[in-house]
Every structure is written in structure tokens, then in C-alpha cells.
Structure 1
Amino acid sequence: MSQEEFRQKQTAFLTERAGLTKEEAAKFFPVYYELQDKKKALNDQAWAKMRKGKHEDLTEAQYESIITSILNNRIASDKLEKAYFLKFKTILSCEKIFKVQGAEMRFHRELLKELGRKP
């Protein structure tokens, strides 16, 4: 599934489950996907560090550096979440933000189940 197809499915699912109006969705999703893109970049960096850690010729200091970098990416991701929560509050009520978060978790669970069923 392409990123565009994924996002279309996700947008429809979250809009329905969170009860977003067309106007809310039109304002919310550009900001939401901006956050997702930034978090993906941090996650990609963390995975790149993990791959470097698979080399057996690394020193203890290099392993420490990798772990510290990964932890820093997680912290940066959490800070992004908090910053974007403040942006989301200018678009949606906290109740709808909460519903979007729940729907997001449900969407990913259902997607994983669907992928698990495909041969």
C-alpha cells in the first residue's frame, strides 16, 4: 500500500471514529501529517542507529552513543507530541483529540490484523 493510500484510509477511519466534521478534518489532517512526518524522520534515525549497533566491532563508548542517540530521539518525539497537542487544541476540542488518539490506535491494530491475514 502506498503512503497516499495509507493516509487516505487513515484519514477516513480517524474522521469517522472521532466524529470530525469536514471542516475540522480539513484543518486537522495537514497538521497531523506534519507531525507524523517529523516523527517518522526521528524513527528512521533511530533505526539507522540500531543497524549500526549490529556490528560486532563496536566499542562500549560507541554502543553508549547509539543508545543515547536513540533515547534522545524518543524524547524529541515526545516533545513533538506535546507541541502538536497545543496546535491540535486550536483546531479540535480535547474530547475530539482524545477520540482521534484512540481511533489511531484502533486503526493500527486493525491494519496489523489485516496484514496478518494476507498470505
Structure 2
Amino acid sequence: MKTNNTFLNKTLLIILFLLSIHTFAQQPTGEKKEQIRALKVGFITNELSLTTEEASKFWPIYNAFDDKQFDLKNQKMKAFKSRMDDDALDKMSEKEAAALLAQMENTEDDLYQLRKKFIANIKGVIPAKKIIKLKKAEEDFKRKLLQQYRDKGPKK
């Protein structure tokens, strides 16, 4: 009975994922982010087979980590976006390029340290095997999301 229930849960999540993903293009950015987050929560919960107790402890830690990671990446993009067009790159001095490179390295270090701290925080919440499955689930979710965007996204 449990196997049948697991199959039903996975099937339901996949159907929900596929039906929801195509509506993202018509919605405001904040709403898109929340929908993606909801799909991600369902996907990861299912892939890790989190118990109720594990999920209640895991998700607050994961969401705080995910928000900080998003903020770091968003700040990084804002800082680099204006400098990354071809004209700006061509006009950039070697000193400016070195400073930008150092800033990029610092951001990557910050992201690494954030992930390292996150893993240390969840070691007591879920077993090591599920932490490894989490990394795979995050990559799988990203891949599916990108594929859906390619399949249903704006055409050139």
C-alpha cells in the first residue's frame, strides 16, 4: 500500500509541476518565484522522502539558506551587469578588471561558505545520504525547470 501511495504522490507532483510551469510567463516575478518555490518544496520533499518531523526541521533551515543564496546571487548580478556588456569590457582598465575579478571571487567564496554552513546545520536534521540526495534533487529540479522554460518559453 505504501509503494502505491508513493507512486501516486510522485505522479501527482509531476502532473502539478508540468501543469504549473507553463503559466509562469504570464505572471509577475514575485508570484513566479513563489510558485517555483512551492514546486521545489514538493519536488525535494518527495525526492528526499522527508518524514513530517524531518520536514518541519529541514524547511526553515533550507528556506533561510535559499533566501540568502538568492540574495547573494542577485547582488552579484546587479554588481556585474552594468560592467559586462562588450563596450564596458573593452573600455575596462586592467586595474578595474582585477577589482571586478576579486569581487567575483569573493562572492563565490561567500556562496561556498554559505553552503558549507547550511550543510553543517542540517547534518543533525537529516542523514548524510539525504543531504547528498538533496544536491541531486536541486540539480534535477533546476534541469527540469530549464527544460520546461525551453519547451514553453518565449520563442525567438
User: What amino acid is the match of 1:14?
Assistant: I
Counting only pairs closer than 5 Å after superposition, residues 1-119 of structure 1 correspond to structure 2 as 1=24, 2-54=32-84, 55=88, 56-119=90-153
Q: How far, CA to CA, are the matches of 2:152 and 2:81 in structure 1? A: 28
Q: How far, CA to CA, are the matches of 1:30 and 1:65 in structure 2? A: 36
Q: How far, CA to CA, are the matches of 1:115 and 1:90 in structure 2? A: 36
Alpha-carbon shift at residue 47 of structure 1 (Å): 1.5
Q: Is the 8 A contact 1:27 1:91 kept in 2?
A: yes
Q: Is the 8 A contact 1:49 1:70 kept in 2?
A: no
Alpha-carbon shift at residue 52 of structure 1 (Å): 3.4
Alpha-carbon shift at residue 21 of structure 1 (Å): 1.1
Q: Is the 8 A contact 1:49 1:66 kept in 2?
A: no
Alpha-carbon shift at residue 15 of structure 1 (Å): 0.6
TM-score by length of 1: 0.91
User: What amino acid is the match of 1:25?
Assistant: A
Query: CA 1:41/1:72 → structure 2, altered by over 3 Å: closer, same or farther?
Result: same
Q: How far, CA to CA, are the matches of 1:3 and 1:78 in structure 2? A: 23
Over the matched positions of the two proteins, sequence identity in percent amounts to: 27
Listed as ranges, the gaps of 5+ residues in structure 1 are: none
Alpha-carbon shift at residue 100 of structure 1 (Å): 1.4
Listed as ranges, the gaps of 5+ residues in structure 2 are: 1-23, 25-31
Larger Rg: 2
